């Protein structure tokens, strides 16, 4: 394709994308394809001779769209959302134009300097104080592809910190600690690093959040076994129920465990800190609090405080997948652990200490130019537009919750499983019969609701099981979802619950 062909094809692509959004509601949320259907339409090898662009672009409609699950659809209520915005689609085009891997400042000074500024903007937007920002030169932020990558990266920093405090500790003693509600990213980080993993049980009466007492008992138990817990992965907005670990109580305990690095995975929930009304619920003051450095910690950031924090702008943060922002309070932990500088990567600017080389703050050498879309989106929406979007999502969840549980017009035999967090509502269908009851029966009801829902391609929801109880999650997040969609959802759930009861009772 030459430049003039690109000009024409580019305009046509923008038209096609606009049509897609105009007709978004006409698509099924879940595609009606069976495993292998899409692959059958794709050749087994790349063509020997180049094909005409018209044919290639038509195959987006013919081959790809029929196999797409429409995450932007207003009836997408599964998992957590993955927003996209036009500003970010354009940013990705520009980033594609200058395509460069931005691993050193010199690779593209703009990529590095924008990433530092953009992560500072986001930190300030969600209420993280100056100690998290690049501008303070001690802490700093980086944009990775996923919360899982961010978690793995901070585990490396945490191990570095622990081994500096306790040189020579055998790897077999090191443990990554999380809870039963932590996303699988923590267990996966342990798997990748070849380290032990322990998940602390959380309780229903604590709304599935990690509390100080449970943490203390778990740490004492690990110590008694000679284990060395070096990093704790906590969650602000858990995947199953939106649980928010009690950071206030946790930091009070970790103050007695100064070698323990504390990470917060706020992959979904973090952006809601942009709303002043959510900051207390999410313990922002404790996230920002500093603990006095102790003599036995040397120059390494103190125990009893939060050391790293991650949130995905690509969930509810109006930035097109992918953009996971991760901040660390002592970025030297990362740059020490991850700096491998062969001669061909040396630059005079880095040697003079004038610049950040982002390759030393993450796993990969080359990295996508993600900060451009963050910058475009935040400038275009502004702080007020960003907050308006989040408030809209929360208000839709409130509307859904009130309609579902309305004593007069709601769905009978449905209970809230955990308190609504931000825009996530988790409910459980319970027995309404005097003869049929019990955990297994109710779990079967909930499984049937999800199974029936997922036979209906016009919506998508996901199940979860917490503490042995199965439930249904409704995660509201598409910028295109309106009140009418969540009210229609309540009616669909009414029908699904009736059908599920008939099916399970039969």
Alpha-carbon torsion, ordered 400, 81, 376, 148, to 10 deg: 140
Residue 71, C-beta contacts closer than 8 angstroms, at least 6 positions apart: 81, 82, 478
Q: Select the span of 32-40, 134-142, 220-228, 231-239 touching ligand PLP (CB under 6 A).
A: 231-239
Say how far apart CA 123 and CA 253 lie, in whole Å: 25
The H or E element spanning position 313 is helix 313-316
Based on the shown chain and the rule CB under 6 A, indicate whether residue 326 belongs to the binding site for ligand PLP: no
DSSP E strands, 149-286: 174-179, 196-200, 228-235, 261-265
| Ramachandran bin of 425, using left for φ above 0, alpha for ψ from -120 to 50, beta for the remaining angles | beta
Return the number of the residue (200 or 301) whose C-beta is nearest ligand PLP.
Answer: 200
Based on the shown chain and the rule CB under 6 A, indicate whether residue 154 belongs to the binding site for ligand PLP: no
The H or E element spanning position 179 is strand 174-179
Q: Select the span of 94-102, 204-212, 261-269, 276-284 touching ligand PLP (CB under 6 A).
A: 261-269
Return the number of the residue (104 or 202) whose C-beta is nearest ligand PLP.
Answer: 202
CB of 244 to ligand PLP, least distance (A): 11
Return the number of the residue (139 or 477) whose C-beta is nearest ligand PLP.
Answer: 477
Based on the shown chain and the rule CB under 6 A, indicate whether residue 148 belongs to the binding site for ligand PLP: yes
Alpha-carbon torsion, ordered 383, 396, 470, 492, to 10 deg: -150
The number of beta carbons lying within 10 Å of the beta carbon of residue 419 is 16
CB of 325 to ligand PLP, least distance (A): 11
- Paired sense of beta strands 462-466 and 469-475, if any: antiparallel
Looking at 147, 158, 278, 461, which residue binds ligand PLP (CB under 6 A)?
147
Based on the shown chain and the rule CB under 6 A, indicate whether residue 239 belongs to the binding site for ligand PLP: yes
Based on the shown chain and the rule CB under 6 A, indicate whether residue 418 belongs to the binding site for ligand PLP: no
Return the number of the residue (243 or 449) whose C-beta is nearest ligand PLP.
Answer: 243
Q: Select the span of 47-55, 144-152, 163-171, 217-225 touching ligand PLP (CB under 6 A).
A: 144-152
CB of 265 to ligand PLP, least distance (A): 5
Q: Select the span of 155-163, 264-272, 371-379, 487-495 touching ligand PLP (CB under 6 A).
A: 264-272
Alpha-carbon distances, residue 458 vs 32, 118, 453 (angstroms): 10, 37, 9
Structure-token pair, residue 506: 């039969």
Return the number of the residue (79 or 86) whose C-beta is nearest ligand PLP.
Answer: 79
Q: What would you report as the CA-atom Rg of the chain, rounded to the nearest whole angstrom?
A: 24
Return the number of the residue (246 or 501) whose C-beta is nearest ligand PLP.
Answer: 246
Based on the shown chain and the rule CB under 6 A, indicate whether residue 421 belongs to the binding site for ligand PLP: no
Q: Select the span of 99-107, 134-142, 145-153, 199-207 touching ligand PLP (CB under 6 A).
A: 145-153
Return the number of the residue (89 or 187) whose C-beta is nearest ligand PLP.
Answer: 187
Mark residues 67-86: x for contact with ligand PLP by CB under 6 A, - for none: ------------xx------
Q: Is 463 helix (H, G, I), strand (E, B) or coil?
A: strand
Alpha-carbon distances, residue 449 vs 181, 385, 407, 412, 460 (angstroms): 23, 36, 21, 14, 12
Based on the shown chain and the rule CB under 6 A, indicate whether residue 324 belongs to the binding site for ligand PLP: yes
CB of 268 to ligand PLP, least distance (A): 5
Looking at 265, 305, 330, 442, which residue binds ligand PLP (CB under 6 A)?
265
Based on the shown chain and the rule CB under 6 A, indicate whether residue 312 belongs to the binding site for ligand PLP: yes
129 DSSP assignment: -
Say how far apart CA 109 and CA 119 lie, in whole Å: 16
Q: Which of 218, 220, 115, 221 shows the shortest CA–CA distance to 233?
A: 218
Alpha-carbon distances, residue 423 vs 340, 400, 479, 484 (angstroms): 42, 10, 12, 16
What pairs with residue 310 in β-bridges? 265, 326
CB of 38 to ligand PLP, least distance (A): 22
What pairs with residue 263 in β-bridges? 233, 308
The number of beta carbons lying within 10 Å of the beta carbon of residue 298 is 9
Q: Which of 198, 152, 148 shows the shortest CA–CA distance to 173?
A: 198
CB of 126 to ligand PLP, least distance (A): 15
CB of 283 to ligand PLP, least distance (A): 16
Return the number of the residue (72 or 239) whose C-beta is nearest ligand PLP.
Answer: 239
Say how far apart CA 32 and CA 455 lie, in whole Å: 10
Q: Select the span of 61-69, 102-110, 164-172, 236-244 touching ligand PLP (CB under 6 A).
A: 236-244
Q: Select the span of 86-94, 99-107, 141-149, 449-457 touching ligand PLP (CB under 6 A).
A: 141-149
Q: Under rule CB under 6 A, how many of the chain's residues touch ligand PLP? A: 16
Looking at 85, 146, 356, 371, which residue binds ligand PLP (CB under 6 A)?
146
Residue list 171-210, contact with ligand PLP (CB under 6 A): 183, 185
DSSP letter string over 416-439?
Answer: ESS--BTTEEEEEE----SSS-SH
Structure-token pair, residue 169: 């500790």
Return the number of the residue (147 or 489) whose C-beta is nearest ligand PLP.
Answer: 147
Which residues of the chain form contacts with ligand PLP (CB under 6 A)? Answer: 79-80, 146-148, 183, 185, 235, 237-239, 265, 267-268, 312, 324
């Amino acid at each position: 394709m030459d430049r003039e062909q690109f000009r024409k094809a580019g305009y046509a692509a923008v038209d096609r994308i606009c049509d897609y959004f105009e007709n978004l509601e006409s698509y099924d949320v879940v595609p009606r394809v069976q495993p292998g259907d899409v692959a059958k339409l794709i050749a087994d090898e790349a063509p020997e001779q180049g094909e005409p662009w018209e044919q290639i672009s038509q195959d987006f409609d013919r081959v790809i769209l029929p196999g797409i699950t429409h995450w932007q659809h207003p009836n997408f209520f599964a998992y957590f959302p993955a927003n996209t915005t036009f500003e970010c689609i354009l940013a990705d085009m520009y980033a594609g134009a200058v395509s460069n891997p931005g691993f050193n400042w010199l690779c593209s000074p703009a990529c590095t300097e924008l990433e530092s500024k953009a992560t500072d903007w986001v930190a300030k937007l969600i209420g993280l104080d100056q100690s998290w920002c690049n501008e303070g030169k001690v802490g700093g932020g980086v944009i990775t592809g996923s919360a899982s990558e961010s978690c793995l990266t901070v585990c490396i920093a945490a191990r570095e910190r622990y081994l500096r405090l306790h040189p020579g500790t055998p790897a077999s003693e090191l443990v990554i600690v999380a809870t039963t509600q932590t996303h699988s990213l923590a267990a996966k980080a342990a798997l990748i690093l070849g380290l032990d993993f322990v998940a602390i049980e959380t309780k229903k009466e604590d709304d599935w959040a990690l509390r100080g007492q449970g943490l203390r008992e778990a740490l004492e138990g690990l110590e008694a076994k000679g284990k060395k817990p070096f990093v704790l992965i906590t969650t602000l907005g858990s995947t199953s129920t939106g649980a928010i670990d009690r950071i206030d109580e946790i930091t009070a305990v970790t103050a007695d465990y100064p070698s323990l690095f504390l990470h917060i995975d706020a992959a979904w929930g973090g952006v809601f800190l942009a709303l002043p009304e959510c900051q207390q619920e999410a313990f922002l003051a404790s996230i920002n609090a500093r603990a006095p450095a102790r003599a036995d910690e040397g120059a390494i950031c103190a125990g009893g405080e939060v050391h790293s924090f991650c949130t995905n702008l690509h969930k509810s943060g109006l930035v097109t997948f992918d953009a996971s922002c991760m901040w660390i309070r002592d970025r030297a932990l990362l740059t020490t652990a991850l700096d491998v500088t062969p001669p061909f990567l040396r630059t005079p600017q880095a040697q003079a200490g004038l610049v950040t080389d982002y390759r030393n703050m993450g796993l990969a050498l080359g990295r996508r130019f993600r900060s451009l879309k963050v910058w475009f989106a935040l400038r275009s929406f502004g702080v007020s537009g960003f907050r308006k979007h989040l408030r809209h999502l929360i208000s839709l969840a409130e509307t859904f919750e009130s309609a579902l549980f309305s004593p007069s017009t709601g769905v009978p035999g449905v209970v809230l499983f955990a308190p609504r967090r931000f825009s996530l509502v988790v409910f459980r269908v319970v027995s309404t019969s005097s003869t049929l009851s019990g955990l297994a029966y109710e779990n079967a009801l909930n499984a049937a609701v999800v199974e029936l829902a997922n036979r209906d391609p016009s919506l998508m929801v996901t199940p979860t099981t917490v503490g042995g109880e199965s439930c249904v999650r409704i995660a509201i997040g598409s910028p295109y979802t309106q009140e009418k969609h969540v009210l229609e959802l309540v009616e669909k759930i009414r029908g699904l619950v009736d059908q599920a009861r008939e099916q399970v009772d039969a």
